[in-house]
């Protein structure tokens, strides 16, 4: 009997082993360089269906001596994979990453290679917008990655169809906006639609830009340097302005219960005159290449303007016509790749392809990249839908850029701001309390550094 149990268990173990080994192949040949790539990929992204063929297969076809082992991850699993690889010291050779934020561990621990020497050697920066190769904008203070694009986290979408139906023009100032509220409400329209259920939206898509208008250029540097505080009148005024938008009815308090996935549908069905979101949202409105389905068809898209928040005609505003801008995601190399090695050359070749003209043109064309980091992409030659053109031209509507708060401060600092801005919508907190909470966390964070 004992024997039968023993043999039963050993059979089971052998079975499991056999099953698990059955799946393990072995790759390896002589002159081929293998590159491991950590890619952020979701089938739900615009252009995803073609990406494999046009980006990855095309590269392998052009470089028969390089074999790519791609790990496609998305959302939370992507971040798990990055953190886990970093902890185990098994980071891939080419890595998709953020300029800071959720990839900050890669930057601050210098797990990404400094690309400055390679960029200089190949004069690779020539066709790039100068701001994207700025080492100071990256988490580690050195050129650890090359971004695909530049992201404007604030975009003010205007629905002319709705405005015209009640005989209004797009508001030029905040007072005009406030004056439109009753007229729009009378006709059953919401004034500004915002998906404030997710806490990052208010901070990233509106507050960052407003903070710039009230607190001025470089306000975040002053706070980091200790010469200013979140509780100073100018920053508090910015928070007060958000509260005022709720009080004036420009923003409905119920937007705190609008979930991020549902706002495009609401805007597309003319439920609101304006919408505040990021520049990336355009990808959701344009025609889906796979199914031909569309939220706002190209004819109606002509009636959508994309600009920045109207002039705030209130005391305390330092300037208007600004936006909150952050470097987009992009690509970095593993810091362990040895200088002068074939592998480094192969990885650099791949990186140059990934942020090269052809791939970025493809990403712009498919709607996944509103503003590319390269300057040599001819938008006019592409068959873009009206909203894609509008968002590509968003830069003409502002002449100053400010930081996005969650890129400029640690999570510990911006979390109480995110939560506090949402609590303002609920009416359960005062602007000064929000500022005080943020300042407290900032001081605690600073003390721990």
Partner 1 sequence: MTIKGEKKFSYAVLVLPAVLIYLVVVAFPTIFSIMLSLTDYNGGKIFGADNLHFVGFRSYEWMLFNDPSKAFYTALRNNMYIVAVSVFGQIPLGFILAYILTRKLIKRGGGFFQTMIFLPNVISPVIIGVLFKNFVYNRDSVYMEIVRFFDPSAEFTLNNTPMIPVLVVILWMFTGFYMIIFLANMQRIDPSIIEAARIDGASESRVLWHIILPAMTNVIVTSSILAISGSLRTFDLIYVMTSGGPAGQTRVLSIYMYEQAFQGSANYPMANAISTVMVLISIALIIITRAVGNIFNDKEV
Partner 2 sequence: MMEKALSIFSKVILYTILIIFTVLAIYPIIWLFIQSFKSTQSYLTTNKLALPVEWFFDNYPFVWTHGGFSVFIVNSVIYTLITVFFVVLLANMAGFGFAKINFKISKWLHGLFIIGILLTIQSILIPLFLMVNSVGLLNTRLGILIPYIGLGLPMAVYLCTDFVKHIPDELLESARIDGAGYLRTFISIVFPMCAPVSVTLAIITFTGTWNEFILMNLLTSGDRLKSIPAAVGRFAGSLGTDYGRLFAALSISLIPILIFYMIFRNQITKGVTAGAVKG
Q: For residue 325, what are the CA distances in angstroms to 60, 131, 212?
A: 34, 11, 11
Identify residues 83-112 at the interface with partner 2 (CB under 8 A): 83-84, 87-88, 90
Which one of partner 1, partner 2, none is in contact with 30 (Cβ closer than 5 to 8 A by kind)?
A: none
Q: Is 292 helix (H, G, I), strand (E, B) or coil?
A: coil
Which one of partner 1, partner 2, none is in contact with 253 (Cβ closer than 5 to 8 A by kind)?
A: partner 1
Identify residues 150-209 at the interface with partner 1 (CB under 8 A): 197-199
Taking alpha carbons only, the member of 214, 393, 195, 420 closest to residue 308 is 393
Q: Closest approach of Cβ 79 to partner 1, in Å?
A: 6
Distance CA 280, CA 394 (A): 12
**DSSP letter string over 335-357?**
TTSPTT-HHHHHHHHHHHHHTSH
Residue placing its CB nearer to partner 2 in the complex, 263 or 373: 263
Residue placing its CB nearer to partner 2 in the complex, 108 or 341: 108
Distance CA 148, CA 288 (A): 22
Distance CA 136, CA 149 (A): 16
Q: Name the phi and psi angles at 393, rounded to 5.
A: -95, 10
Taking alpha carbons only, the member of 26, 91, 2, 65 closest to residue 336 is 91
Residue placing its CB nearer to partner 1 in the complex, 277 or 365: 277
Interface stretch with partner 2, choices 41-49, 170-178, 234-242, 248-256 (CB under 8 A): 41-49
C-alpha 293 chain-centroid distance: 24
Please state whether beta strands 155-159 and 272-277 pair in parallel, antiparallel, or not at all (unpaired): antiparallel
Residue placing its CB nearer to partner 2 in the complex, 74 or 445: 74
Distance CA 353, CA 357 (A): 8
Identify residues 226-265 at the interface with partner 1 (CB under 8 A): 253-259, 262
User: Contact, 143 vs 119, CB < 8 A?
Assistant: yes
Which one of partner 1, partner 2, none is in contact with 385 (Cβ closer than 5 to 8 A by kind)?
A: none
Residue placing its CB nearer to partner 2 in the complex, 148 or 437: 148
Q: Which residues contact 362 (CB under 8 A, 6 or more apart)?
A: 47, 50, 54, 55
Per-residue binding letters, 424-443, with partner 1 (x by CB under 8 A): -xx-xx-------x--xx--
For position 44 contacting partner 2 by CB under 8 A, the verdict is yes
Q: Closest approach of Cβ 234 to partner 2, in Å?
A: 31
Q: Which residues contact 171 (CB under 8 A, 6 or more apart)?
A: 177, 179, 180, 310
* The two structure tokens encoding residue 309: 């928040």
For position 31 contacting partner 2 by CB under 8 A, the verdict is no
Which one of partner 2, partner 1, none is in contact with 321 (Cβ closer than 5 to 8 A by kind)?
A: none
For position 67 contacting partner 2 by CB under 8 A, the verdict is no
Distance CA 191, CA 210 (A): 18
Binding partner 2 by CB under 8 A: which of 58, 160, 289, 295? 295
Count of CA atoms in the C-beta half-sphere (13 A) of 229: 13
Q: Closest approach of Cβ 269 to partner 2, in Å?
A: 5
Q: Closest approach of Cβ 110 to partner 1, in Å?
A: 8
Distance CA 236, CA 224 (A): 17
DSSP code for 315: T
Query: What's the alpha-carbon Rg for the chain, to the nearest Å?
Result: 25
> Site for partner 1 (CB under 8 A): how many residues?
52
Which one of partner 2, partner 1, none is in contact with 291 (Cβ closer than 5 to 8 A by kind)?
A: partner 2
Which one of partner 2, partner 1, none is in contact with 247 (Cβ closer than 5 to 8 A by kind)?
A: none
Please state whether beta strands 145-147 and 150-152 pair in parallel, antiparallel, or not at all (unpaired): unpaired
Identify residues 369-408 at the interface with partner 1 (CB under 8 A): 406
Where along the sequence are the contacts to partner 1 (CB under 8 A)? 2, 5-6, 9, 76, 79-80, 83, 86-89, 101-102, 104-106, 108-109, 111, 197-199, 253-259, 262, 266, 406, 410-412, 414-416, 419-420, 422-423, 425-426, 428-429, 437, 440-441, 444, 448
Where along the sequence are the contacts to partner 2 (CB under 8 A)? 1-2, 5, 12, 16-17, 19-21, 23-24, 42-45, 49, 69-77, 80-81, 83-84, 87-88, 90, 198, 260-262, 264-266, 268-269, 280-281, 283-284, 288, 290-291, 293-295
């Amino acid at each position: 009997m004992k024997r039968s149990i023993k043999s039963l268990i050993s059979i089971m173990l052998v079975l499991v082993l056999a099953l698990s080994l059955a799946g393990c192949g072995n790759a390896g040949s002589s002159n081929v360089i293998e590159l491991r790539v950590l890619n952020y990929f979701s089938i739900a992204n615009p252009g995803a269906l073609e990406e494999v063929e046009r980006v990855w297969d095309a590269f392998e076809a052009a470089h028969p001596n390089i074999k790519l082992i791609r790990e496609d991850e998305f959302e939370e699993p992507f971040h798990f994979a990055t953190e886990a690889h970093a902890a185990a010291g098994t980071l891939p050779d080419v890595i998709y990453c953020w300029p800071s934020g959720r990839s900050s561990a890669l930057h601050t621990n210098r797990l990404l290679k400094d690309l400055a020497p390679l960029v200089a050697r190949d004069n690779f920066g020539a066709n790039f917008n100068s701001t994207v190769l700025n080492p100071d904008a990256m988490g580690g203070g050195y050129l650890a990655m090359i971004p695909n694009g530049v992201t404007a986290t604030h975009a003010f979408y205007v629905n002319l169809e709705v405005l015209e139906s009640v005989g209004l023009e797009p508001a030029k100032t905040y007072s005009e906006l406030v004056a439109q509220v009753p007229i729009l409400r009378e006709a059953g329209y919401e004034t500004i639609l915002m998906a404030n259920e997710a806490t990052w939206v208010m901070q990233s898509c509106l507050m960052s830009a407003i903070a710039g208008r009230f607190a001025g250029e470089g306000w975040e540097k002053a706070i980091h340097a200790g010469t200013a505080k979140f509780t100073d009148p100018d920053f508090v005024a910015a928070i007060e302005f958000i509260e005022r938008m709720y009080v004036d009815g420009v923003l409905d308090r119920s937007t705190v219960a609008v979930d991020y996935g549902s706002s495009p549908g609401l805007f597309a069905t003319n439920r609101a005159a304006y919408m505040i979101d990021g520049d990336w949202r355009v990808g959701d409105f344009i025609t889906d290449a796979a199914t031909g389905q569309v939220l706002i068809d190209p004819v109606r898209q002509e009636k959508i303007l994309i600009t920045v928040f109207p002039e705030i005609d209130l005391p305390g505003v330092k300037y208007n016509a600004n936006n909150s801008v952050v470097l987009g995601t992009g690509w970095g190399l593993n810091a362990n790749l040895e200088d002068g090695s074939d592998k480094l050359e192969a990885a650099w070749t791949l990186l140059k392809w990934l942020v090269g003209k052809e791939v970025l043109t493809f990403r712009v064309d498919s709607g996944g990249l509103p503003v590319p980091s390269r300057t040599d992409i001819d938008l006019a030659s592409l068959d873009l839908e009206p909203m894609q053109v509008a968002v590509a031209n968003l830069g003409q509507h502002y002449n100053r850029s400010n930081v996005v708060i969650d890129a400029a401060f640690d999570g510990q600092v911006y979390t109480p701001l995110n939560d506090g801005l949402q609590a303002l919508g609920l009416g359960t907190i005062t602007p000064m309390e929000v500022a005080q909470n943020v300042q407290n966390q900032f001081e605690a964070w600073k003390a721990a550094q």
